């Protein structure tokens, strides 16, 4: 961009005005949307932005018609860990009163975008005592889901105190469903306990842990995957040998992080008759919410065990 002395102030002001106008448009649309879904009592729905659709769905469940949730990432075919937000993505945050990010280094672009707003930020990983360096796929963890739900409810009550009673009720309803899911996990773990699984990426590590399964991913490969570096040819060979030897009873395949290396590993699993559970980072569109998706995955793990 060309910097003409004396023009800078003007162009900044123009930009601010443009941002404000765009923000107003988004708010107007949001207000229209909420009125068509019958949002109550003449008040405007709380604008909520979630970086990823799995937490966005929880934010929706907990806010009902009092909130209007926008999820930025919902595509199960886009590389999740190295996601580069568009300027439109970043723009979404300016209208938010409540922002839900995953944290633990998974979506630092979102935490950064939220910093420049006055929104109340729920950092899912932090709400559950997880930090950068821990496995960031925290939505697969029952303990984390419980803590995040309560943190979202607190943020809603702060942003919109007049609907506190409704938020409390929706929180209770949500916990009842989470408890039902955890009962299913406990029931499934009769089959899945101690089943030795390996993963092309440690995406569902927390769910497998809740199902009492044993992570048998060959060490070199697992370390390379966790560091987002390329496994060596030796790492790949030992993974394939472990599958051929029968050391691994189930392969968990993250189809959102697929490449020629994971092709070789799923190929070995198939030719050795090792069942594959295929899943993604973001929640597939066909599920209503995170709990429904987790329930379906529990069934799949149980079937494959
Ligand atoms: Zn991942």
Q: What is the pLDDT of residues 202-254, one digit of tens each?
A: 999 999 999 999 999 999 999 999 888 899 999 999 999 999 999 999 999 99
Query: In terms of residue numbers, what domain contains 259?
Result: 192-304
Query: Which of 262, 258, 242 lies closest to 196 in space, CA to CA?
Result: 242
pLDDT tens for each residue of 62-78: 999 999 999 999 999 99
Identify the domain boundary among 127, 156, 182.
182
Q: Does 55 lie in the same domain as 109?
A: yes
pLDDT at 226: 87
Share of the chain above pLDDT 70, in %: 86
| Mean of pLDDT over the chain | 88
pLDDT at 277: 98
What pTM, to 2 d.p., does this model score?
A: 0.85
Q: Say if 4 falls within a structural domain.
A: no
pLDDT tens for each residue of 27-49: 333 333 222 233 444 468 999 99
Quick check: helix, strand or coil at residue 71?
strand
Q: Say if 2 falls within a structural domain.
A: no
Contact (CB, 8 A) for 99 and 93: yes
pLDDT confidence band for 7 (50 / 70 / 90): very low
Distance 261 CA to ligand 1 centre (A): 15
Q: Does 49 lie in the same domain as 172?
A: yes
Q: Say if 187 falls within a structural domain.
A: no
Distance 102 CA to ligand 1 centre (A): 12
pLDDT tens for each residue of 267-281: 999 999 999 999 999
How many domains does the chain contain in total? 2
Element (H or E) spanning 70, and its range? strand 67-73
Distance 74 CA to ligand 1 centre (A): 14
Residue with more model confidence, 148 or 33 = 148
Distance 82 CA to ligand 1 centre (A): 10
Distance CA 116, CA 93 (A): 9
Residue with more model confidence, 92 or 41 = 92
Q: Say if 5 falls within a structural domain.
A: no
Phi, psi of 278 (to 5 degrees): -105, 130
Quick check: helix, strand or coil at residue 236?
helix
Distance 38 CA to ligand 1 centre (A): 37
Distance 281 CA to ligand 1 centre (A): 6
Element (H or E) spanning 24, and its range? helix 8-36
Indicate if the pLDDT at residue 134 is higher than 90.
Answer: yes
């Amino acid at each position: 961009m060309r910097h003409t002395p004396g023009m800078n102030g003007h162009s900044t002001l123009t930009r601010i005005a443009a941002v404000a106008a765009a923000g107003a448009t988004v708010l107007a649309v949001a207000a229209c949307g909420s009125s068509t879904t019958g949002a109550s009592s003449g008040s405007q729905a709380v604008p909520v932005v979630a970086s990823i659709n799995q937490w966005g769905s929880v934010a929706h469940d907990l806010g009902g018609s009092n909130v209007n949730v926008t999820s930025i990432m919902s595509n199960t075919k886009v590389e999740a860990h190295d996601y580069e937000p568009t300027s439109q993505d970043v723009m979404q945050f300016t209208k938010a009163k409540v922002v839900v990010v995953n944290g633990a280094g998974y979506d630092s672009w979102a935490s950064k975008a939220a910093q420049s707003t006055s929104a109340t930020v729920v950092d899912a990983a932090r709400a559950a005592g997880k930090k950068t360096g821990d496995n960031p796929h925290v939505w697969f963890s029952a303990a984390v889901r419980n803590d995040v739900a309560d943190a979202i409810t607190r943020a809603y009550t702060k942003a919109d105190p007049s609907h506190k009673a409704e938020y409390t009720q929706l929180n209770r309803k949500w916990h009842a469903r989470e408890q039902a899911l955890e009962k299913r996990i406990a029931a499934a773990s009769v089959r899945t306990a101690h089943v030795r699984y390996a993963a092309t990426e440690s995406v569902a590590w927390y769910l497998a842990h809740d199902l009492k399964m044993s992570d048998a991913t060959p060490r070199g490969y697992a370390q390379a995957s966790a560091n987002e570096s390329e496994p060596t040819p030796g790492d790949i060979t030992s993974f394939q040998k472990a599958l051929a030897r029968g050391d691994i009873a189930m392969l968990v395949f993250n189809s959102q992080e697929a490449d020629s290396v994971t092709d070789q590993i799923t190929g070995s699993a198939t030719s050795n008759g090792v069942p594959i559970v295929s899943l993604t980072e973001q929640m597939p569109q066909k599920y209503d919410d995170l709990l429904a998706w987790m329930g379906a995955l529990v069934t799949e793990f149980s079937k494959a065990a």
